[in-house]
Amino acid sequence: MHSKKPFYILVALLFIAGIATSVFRGVEHKVPFLPGKQVQSWAVDAKVSFQGTGGPAEVSFSLPNDPAFEVLVENASSPGYGLTISQDKQGRRALWSVRSAKGLQNLYYKVTLIPTGTTEVIASGVPATPQIYIWPATEKEAAEQIIDKVWAKSATNITFAQQLNKALNASDRSQNVELLLSNNTPIQLFLHMLHNKGVPAKEVSGLFLEDQRRRQQLTSFVEVYNDGKWVLFNPADGTQGRSDDVLLWDRSGTSTLDVTGGVNSQVNFSMLQDTRSALATSLDLMRNQGALDFSLYQLPLEEQSLFKGILLIPVGVLMVVFLRVIVGLKTSGTFMPVLIALAFIQTTLLTGLIGFILIVACGLMIRSYLSQLNLLLISRISAVIIVVIGIIGVFTLLSYKFGLSEGLTITFFPMIILAWTIERMSILWEEEGPKEVVIQGGGSLFVATLAYLAMSASWAQHWVFNFLGIHLVILALVLLMGQYTGYRLFELRRFKPLAGE
C-alpha cells in the first residue's frame, strides 16, 4: 500500500489554491463575495468656461487624483478642441487646445468615481523642505509670536499643524491672529506658518460630494506631510482629516485651471449619486486595468451564459457525491439527477417536477405497448426517444393553447435522459413491480431536487462563475470524499442491530 501523503498534499494544495485565488479575486479585483451587492458611485461633471479672445487657446485642467476614489469611466466633450490627457509627477491633467476661440467657450469633463474605502494619502516620496516664507514687516512680529508659542506646545510636524490649526480657529483668537487673518486667507496663513518652520505642506483643492448638486466650486484644503503620508487640514473651519464626501480633485499644489488665450475662466461642478451592481463595477475596473485578459468575462455574452450553466455542474456533482458517499442515498444512474436538476433550473422546480412526472408517466404507457412488439432494445429506445419528443411537443402546444407559459419550458428536458429513464423504469416495473418504480424514481427526483436547490442558490451561481477557484475546492472535496472509508449515514441505521448493547 503506497503512502497517502502525496494525495493529501495534493488535496491541501488544491484547497489552498482555490481559497487563495477566490480571496484574491474578492480583495484585489473587488469582486463582491455576495451576489446582488450594490455600490455607490458618483458621477461628477466639470464645466470649464471662459471667454475666448479670438486667438489660439489652451486650457490645462487638473483631473481628480484621489486614492479614496477610483475612476471608472471618464470622458470629455469639447467639440472643435484637441484633447490630450497627460500624466506627470504632479498628477493627471487634461489639455484642450484650439486655433481660434472667440466668445464663450464651454468644455466638459465627465467622470464616474467609485469609493475605494482607502482615505489615507501615501506620499510618493519625501517632499523637499519648503522655502522659508518671508513675512512682510507689518506681520513679521505677530506671526513669529504665534509660531513660537505654538511650536513650544508641539512635538512633531503633525502636532505643530494641529496646534496651529487650533490657534487660527480658536473662538477667542488673539490680536495677532486677527491681524494676520485680516491680510491673509486662513489657507495662506496656515501654509506660510508651516513653511516658516520647514514643514512640507501644500494647498490642494477638493469637492464636497452631495447628491444632485449643481454649480459647485472647489474648496481649498491644506495637506501636511507627516511620516510618509499627507494629512488633510481645513484651516477655514479648523478641522483635520477628511470625511467620506470629500473628493480631492487637484493635489498638484499648482493651479487647477490654466487658460491661455482666454479671460474670465472658471470651473463649475455638478454631481449625481448612483447605485450600481458591485459585480459590474468590478468588471469595469478590471477592464480599465487590463486584468480581464484570459478570463471568462472576455467571452461573448452567449458563451458566458453557457459557461454559467456548465460551471454549475460541479456543484450538482458535489451534491450527488455527498448524498451517495456520506449519506448513502441511491440514485438511478450516477449523474442523471444532475442533468435533471440542470433542466429544473430552466423550468423552475415545480413545473419541472410536474413536467418530468407527466412525460415519464405518458412514456411508460406507450413503452408498455412497445414492449409487446418484441423490438430490439436499440430500436425500442429509439422509438421511446421519438415518442418523448412527440409528448414534449404535445405538452408544449397544449400549455400554449391554455396560456400556461410555464409549460413551454418543458422543452429543456434532455430527451435522451428521459428516454433512458422511461426504459429503465419500464424494466423495473416488469421485474420488481410499480412500488419499486415509485421508490427509485422518487429517490432520483429527490436527489435531483436537492441538487437543484444547491445549484439554483444565487450565491452558488455567483461563486462558481466569478470565483473560479471554488472549483478547485470542489475538486479537493470530491477527492477527499473518494477516500472516505467511514460509515454512510444510512448504514448507521441499517447496521443498528450490530451496534451491540
Partner 1 sequence: MRFEFAWPSALHKSGVLGMNKRNIDYIGRYNPRKFYKRVDDKLTTKQLALANNIAVPSLIGVVREQHEIETIPAMVNDKDGFVIKPSKGSGGKGILVITKVEAGRYYKPNGQEVNHSEIYRHVSNVLSGLFSLGGAPDVAIVEGLIQFDPVFDGYSYEGVPDIRLIVYKGFPVMGMLRLSTAASDGKANLHQGAVGVGVDIGTGKGLHAVQFDRPIELHPDTNKKLIDIQVPQWDFLLNTASKAYEMTEMGYLGTDMVLDKIKGPLLLELNARPGLAIQIANGRGILPYLNHVDSLGNHNMTVGERVEYAKKHFSYSAKL
Q: Which is nearer to partner 1, 24 or 490 (CB)?
A: 490
The beta strand positions in 339-421, using DSSP E, are none
Shortest Cβ 422–partner 1 spacing (Å) = 13
Q: How far is the CB of 417 from partner 1 (least distance, A)?
A: 14
Q: Given candidates 328, 346, 443, 453, which one binds partner 1 under the rule CB under 8 A?
A: 328
Q: Around 282, how many Cα atoms within 13 Å sit in the side-chain half-sphere? A: 21
Distance in Å, CB of 407 to partner 1, minimum: 32
Beta bridge partners of 392: none
Beta-bridge partner residues of 104: 51
Question: Does 3 sit near partner 1 (CB under 8 A)?
Answer: no
37-45, 73-81, 267-275, 373-381 -> range binding partner 1 (CB under 8 A) = 373-381
CB nearer to partner 1: pick between 262 and 363: 363
Of the candidates 223, 160, 218, the residue with the CA atom closest to the CA atom of residue 187: 223
d(CA 91, CA 62): 7
Site for partner 1 in 409-468 (CB under 8 A): 427, 431-432
Beta carbon nearer to partner 1, 293 or 501? 501
Q: Is 310 in the site for partner 1 (CB under 8 A)?
A: no
End-to-end alpha carbon distance in the chain: 35
**Strands 262-277, 69-77: pairing kind:** unpaired
**Cβ at position 446, least distance to partner 1 in Å:** 16
In order of 29, 41, 123, 285, 398, the CA distances from 288 in angstroms are 11, 16, 24, 5, 50
Residues 79-108 that bind partner 1 (CB under 8 A): none
User: Site residues for partner 1, window 28-57 (CB under 8 A)?
Assistant: none
Residue 195 to residue 218: CA distance in whole angstroms: 23
User: Closest distance between partner 1 and the C-beta of residue 319, in Å?
Assistant: 17
Pick the piece of the chain touching partner 1 (CB under 8 A) from 194-202, 219-227, 458-466, 493-501: 493-501
Does 497 interact with partner 1 (rule: CB under 8 A)? yes
Task: Tell me which of 87, 183, 217, 483 binds partner 1, using CB under 8 A.
Answer: 483
Site membership for partner 1, residue 499 (CB under 8 A): yes
Q: Is residue 57 within 8 Å of 98, Cβ to Cβ?
A: yes
Task: List, as one string, the DSSP characters of 10-60.
Answer: HHHHHHHHHHHHHHHHHHHS---SSTT-EEEEEEEEEEEEEEEESS-EEEE
Cell of 317: 456533482
Does 6 bind partner 1 (CB under 8 A)? Our answer is no
Question: Least distance (Å) from partner 1 to the CB of residue 314?
Answer: 21
Furthest CA-CA distance within the chain = 118
CB 81 within 8 A of CB 28: no
Pairing of β 69-77 and β 57-62 = unpaired
Closest C-alpha among 58, 50, 60 to residue 93 = 60
Residue 336 CB, nearest distance to partner 1 (Å)?
14
Stretch that binds partner 1, among 56-64, 107-115, 297-305, 368-376 (CB under 8 A): 368-376
Contact status: 325 vs partner 1 (CB under 8 A): yes
How many residues bind partner 1 (CB under 8 A)? The answer is 28
Burial, 17: exposed, middle or buried (Cβ in 10 Å; 0-12, 13-18, 19+)? middle
Q: Is 71 in the site for partner 1 (CB under 8 A)?
A: no
Is the CB of 287 or the CB of 494 nearer to partner 1?
A: 494
Instruction: Rule CB under 8 A: choose which of 290, 300, 378, 401 binds partner 1.
Output: 378
Of 82-90, 271-279, 456-464, 487-495, the segment contacting partner 1 by CB under 8 A is 487-495
Q: Given candidates 285, 374, 418, 476, which one binds partner 1 under the rule CB under 8 A?
A: 374
State which residue, 172 or 501, has the beta carbon closest to partner 1: 501
HEC assignment per residue over 193-232: HHHHCCCCEEEEEEEECCCCEEEECCEEEEEEEECCEEEE
Q: What is residue 245's DSSP assignment?
A: T
Residue number, 214 or 330, with CB nearest to partner 1: 330
| Residue 334 φ then ψ, to 5° | -60, -55
Closer CB to partner 1, 325 or 457, in the complex? 325
Q: Quick one: which segment of 145-153, 297-305, 340-348, 480-488 binds partner 1 (CB under 8 A)?
A: 480-488
Position among 3, 171, 182, 485 found at the interface with partner 1 (CB under 8 A)? 485
d(CA 208, CA 67): 16
Question: Given the rule CB under 8 A, which residues bind partner 1?
Answer: 1, 325, 328, 371, 374, 376-378, 427, 431-432, 483-489, 491-500
